[in-house]
């Protein structure tokens, strides 16, 4: 995205109460002054806008893939919405699947729902945020235990540019080096910092965010 598109996207996240400021704890256990909560998406119009951003990101990546996966829970509406927009905007008809947090032992049973990947199919993951990479490292072995797939690309709204939990390298670098997964993001923390620096309403949060990035991020 160009600079103006990034500004529009960040404004959209703030107006939708997705990018919020305060005191929060991430999945990796870090105390952070800002948070991306896609659970706050509640309206069709918001999802329509979001789907357009995601679909364009995937198209611009020029990545080859056969199907899309959304990790439970927040990744589920994201992958469904993204699939819908790839078809409605670009006439690209790709299948999707997602997982349950716990395996179902009745009805159809199992952990995964939706498309059943064939051996050696290329799968992309649709997720909301990359922090320390914890969620992806948890779900990827489960997918590969069930299916013989190739998974080389992760698409997220925001890359927080943070350190991996147990290594002194950026989470995105660890995912690529250890798992062969390249991270594609609409924006990252540097874009957010530039946005709030130039916005009086949010400039009061800049010192806390910069202090946080000094401890946990590689910019």
What residues are labeled active site?
Answer: 104, 106
| Bridge partners, 123 (sequence order) | 67, 151
Q: Which of 55, 42, 71 is nearest to 143 (CA)?
A: 71
Element (H, E) at 141: helix 134-146
Residue 164, φ and ψ in degrees, nearest 5: -60, 155
Residue with the two structure tokens 């390249």: 182
Tokens representing residue 80 in the block: 């469904």
Rounded (to 5) percent helix, strand, coil in the chain: 45, 25, 30
Distance CA 159, CA 128 (A): 9
Q: Which of 109, 90, 112 is nearest to 101 (CA)?
A: 112
SS3 (DSSP) at 169? coil
Instruction: Report the first-to-last Cα separation within the chain, whole angstroms.
Output: 18
């Amino acid at each position: 995205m160009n600079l103006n598109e990034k500004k529009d996207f960040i404004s959209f996240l703030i107006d939708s109460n997705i990018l919020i400021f305060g005191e929060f704890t991430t999945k990796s256990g870090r105390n952070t002054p800002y948070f991306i909560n896609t659970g706050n998406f509640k309206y069709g119009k918001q999802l329509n806008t979001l789907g357009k951003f995601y679909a364009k990101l995937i198209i611009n990546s020029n990545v080859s893939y056969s199907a899309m996966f959304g990790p439970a829970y927040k990744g589920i509406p994201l992958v469904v919405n993204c699939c819908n927009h790839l078809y409605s905007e670009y006439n690209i008809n790709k299948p999707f699947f997602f997982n349950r947090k716990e395996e179902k032992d009745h009805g159809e049973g199992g952990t995964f729902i939706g498309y059943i990947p064939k051996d050696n199919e290329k799968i992309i993951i649709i997720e909301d945020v990359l922090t320390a990479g914890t969620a992806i490292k948890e779900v990827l072995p489960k997918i590969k235990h069930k299916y013989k797939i190739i998974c080389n690309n992760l698409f997220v709204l925001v890359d927080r540019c943070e350190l991996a939990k147990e290594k002194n390298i950026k989470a995105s670098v660890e995912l690529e080096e250890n798992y062969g997964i390249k991270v594609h993001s609409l924006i990252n923390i540097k874009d957010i910092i530039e946005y709030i620096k130039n916005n009086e309403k949010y400039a009061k949060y800049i010192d806390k965010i910069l202090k946080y990035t000094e401890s946990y991020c590689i910019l």
